[in-house]
Amino acid sequence: MEDQRLITIDGPAGCGKSTTVRLLAERLGAIAFSSGTVYRAVTHLVLSDTSSDQLAAMSADERSSTILERIETNEFEIREVMHGDNLELRVFVNGVDPGEVLHSTEVTREVHWIADDGDVRAALLPLQRGITTTVPIITEGRDMGSVVFPQAQVKVFLTASLEARAQRRYDELVGERGEVIDRAAVKEDVAARDRFDRGRAVGPLIEPEGGVVVDSTGMSREQVVELIAGLVPAEWSEACA
């Protein structure tokens, strides 16, 4: 991907990365990609025949071997697809786009088994780095700018207060997905995710070298997009028009 124009947006859960990437892609004529979709796709596949209790009962080596075996014996592909009027990059498993189930509470709860495993993350790097497209790519995740695409020309660390992020997550789960869940439980889940992500031995949540920190607390989505769009190199203007 040496010649690929890349914008990476890293940050904690609930800071608005997905929405920002979608709106920024619309603004710039770029294509969006979420690294979390890769880990969630693997999680969904593993959970199709292995329960969360079984995963928890395995030793680290057994669990890693099980997950790697699923990756090796199934086909993963990142494809360009139309979502509404916009192009997106989505992960297909054995030719099928799993869809919104990848963002369910069950997958969210168990994705750490995949995201915490250094061997699994390494095995999935070629899939992510193999993306090719003629338009700029805007990627979001935990370590897009720090690990996956350290060569990106624009790196952003998007964040917000715990309270703001918990409210956004609650609104998403209840308002958009119709889940029944306690607001306080959502806040604790977000706080626990922060602790997990900051303390991970592999690919921890950190500000990428050369990145710009954007705190979206109190900012509108439009203000965040405007700020990040201003970081895009001037020479991209024609390609992003």
Domain parsing of the chain, residue ranges: 6-228
Share of the chain above pLDDT 90, in %: 58
Spatial strand order in the sheet of 76-83? 76-83, 86-93, 31-34, 137-141, 6-10, 154-159, 212-215
Per-chain mean pLDDT for the chain: 89
For residue 182, the model assigns a pLDDT of 84
3-state helix vs strand vs coil in the chain, percent to 5: 50, 15, 30
240 pLDDT band, cuts 50/70/90, is low
- pLDDT higher than 60, residue 138: yes
- The third-level CATH classification (topology) of the domain covering 6-228 is Rossmann fold (3.40.50)
More confident residue, 118 or 174: 118
Residue 108 gets the label, from left (phi > 0), alpha (psi -120 to 50) or beta, of alpha
Distance CA 93, CA 130 (A): 16
